[in-house]
């Protein structure tokens, strides 16, 4: 049978955004694949060069609307290194709270999308139901459910609201109870296990070579988490375990699912610790309007290693900005995951990667 190319995108439900996966098939077997991106490119790095340092936070929020705080935080870290600004301890703890709330909301959005990809519509309804509660907490903290514009160069925009700890503990307690139901829904589904276990494998060596990071790399069995290896903010004072696949052969769709799923519990534990340990005092330091030098920051985003490189030339705007997207690098490795699998497995494999096109295309 002759081989031919099939376009899965840019409007295919599997893409979870605006991009196209060209798949070469021989019958039902995938022999090659080519991701086509750039449909959502907005020229972020150049736009940031004509806006003031502090005003760029609004832009970085929109790199990934599902995980906006993690991106604006990474940008603020890079700027703080140029300006030699130290965030007050309370500001650091509040940042940890906001980052982990955002991580949970992001992972629940991924889980909500991955469920119906594999025929589990209930997964969509349940995950979005609990995600609303975490968005309530983010709204209470920041005033917005999406694109919160909360981090600031020097700290955060505002302090924790009254009784935030009570609302936080209540939501986390409720979510922990629901997690056991989530486990039964996914783990007891033979269809889900058949469509994920051993499907879309990538070796640890290939994952490293292609720059795969975050949960997708930890699913290959490598213990890499920047919150532990290169800690920032108050993470050195937090007890948590990076979620790494320990079950032997990993690197498949199921291992990627499990790593993200287990991170939901870890993030809840981190939030509880941060709320209890946050000291009193200032939550923001005053940052200068102008800056000269180079600032480099990398953080553990919801999807992997987020990197910002910012250069200041003494003006009130960055001279140059470079963004490293974890999804951009992971996308380059997807042909390895797809080759040798069946056409029907494309949805299972690419859904397990957790694509965010906004940060990928910039």
> Is residue 220 predicted with pLDDT exceeding 70?
yes
Tell me the H-state helices in the chain: 44-47, 56-61, 68-83, 89-117, 121-142, 164-187, 190-196, 204-209, 215-218, 226-229, 253-277, 326-338, 345-353, 357-361
Give Cα separations from 351 to 44, 252, 355 (angstroms). Answer: 26, 12, 7
| CATH code of domain 47-305 | 1.10.645.10
pLDDT per residue as tens digits for the range 223-242: 888 888 888 888 888 888 88
> Is residue 1 predicted with pLDDT exceeding 80?
no
Domain locations along the chain: 47-305
The whole-number average pLDDT for the span 193-207 is 87
pLDDT per residue as tens digits for the range 12-31: 777 777 888 888 888 888 88
pLDDT per residue as tens digits for the range 131-140: 999 999 999 9
Interior angle at CA 17, CA 45 and CA 108, nearest 5: 100
> Is residue 200 predicted with pLDDT exceeding 70?
yes
> Is residue 197 predicted with pLDDT exceeding 70?
yes
Tokens (6 digits) for 321: 């900005």
Q: What is the pTM of this model?
A: 0.91
pLDDT per residue as tens digits for the range 296-305: 999 988 888 8
């Amino acid at each position: 049978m002759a081989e031919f190319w099939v376009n899965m995108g840019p409007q295919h439900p599997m893409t979870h955004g605006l991009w196209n996966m060209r798949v070469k098939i021989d019958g039902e077997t995938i022999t090659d694949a080519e991701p086509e991106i750039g449909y959502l490119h907005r020229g972020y790095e150049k736009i940031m060069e004509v806006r003031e340092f502090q005003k760029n936070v609004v832009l970085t929020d929109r790199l990934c609307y599902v995980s906006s705080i993690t991106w604006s935080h990474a940008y603020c870290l890079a700027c703080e290194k140029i300006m030699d600004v130290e965030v007050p301890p309370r500001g650091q703890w509040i940042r940890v709270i906001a980052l982990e709330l955002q991580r949970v909301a992001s992972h629940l959005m991924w889980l909500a999308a991955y469920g119906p990809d594999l025929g589990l519509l209930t997964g969509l309804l349940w995950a979005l139901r609990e995600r609303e509660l975490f968005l309530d907490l983010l709204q209470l903290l920041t005033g917005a459910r999406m694109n919160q514009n909360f981090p600031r160069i020097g700290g955060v925009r505002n302090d924790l609201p009254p009784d935030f700890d009570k609302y936080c503990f209540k939501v986390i307690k409720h979510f922990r109870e629901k997690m056991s139901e989530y486990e039964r829904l996914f783990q007891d589904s033979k269809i889900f296990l058949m469509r994920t276990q051993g499907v879309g494998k990538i070796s640890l060596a290939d994952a490293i070579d292609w720059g795969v990071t975050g949960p997708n790399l930890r699913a290959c069995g490598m213990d890499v988490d920047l919150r532990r290896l290169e800690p920032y903010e108050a993470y050195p004072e937090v007890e948590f375990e990076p979620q790494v696949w320990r079950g032997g052969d990993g690197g498949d769709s199921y291992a990627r699912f499990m790593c993200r799923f287990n991170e939901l519990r870890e993030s809840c534990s981190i939030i509880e610790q941060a709320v209890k340990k946050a000291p009193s005092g200032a939550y923001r330091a005053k940052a200068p309007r102008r800056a000269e030098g180079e600032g480099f920051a990398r953080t553990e985003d919801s999807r992997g290693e987020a990197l910002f490189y910012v250069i200041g030339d003494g003006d009130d705007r960055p001279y140059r900005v470079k963004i490293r997207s974890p999804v951009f690098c992971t996308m380059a490795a997807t042909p390895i995951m797809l080759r040798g699998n069946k056409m029907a497995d494309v949805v299972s494999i690419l859904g397990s990667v957790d694509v965010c096109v906004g940060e990928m295309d910039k």
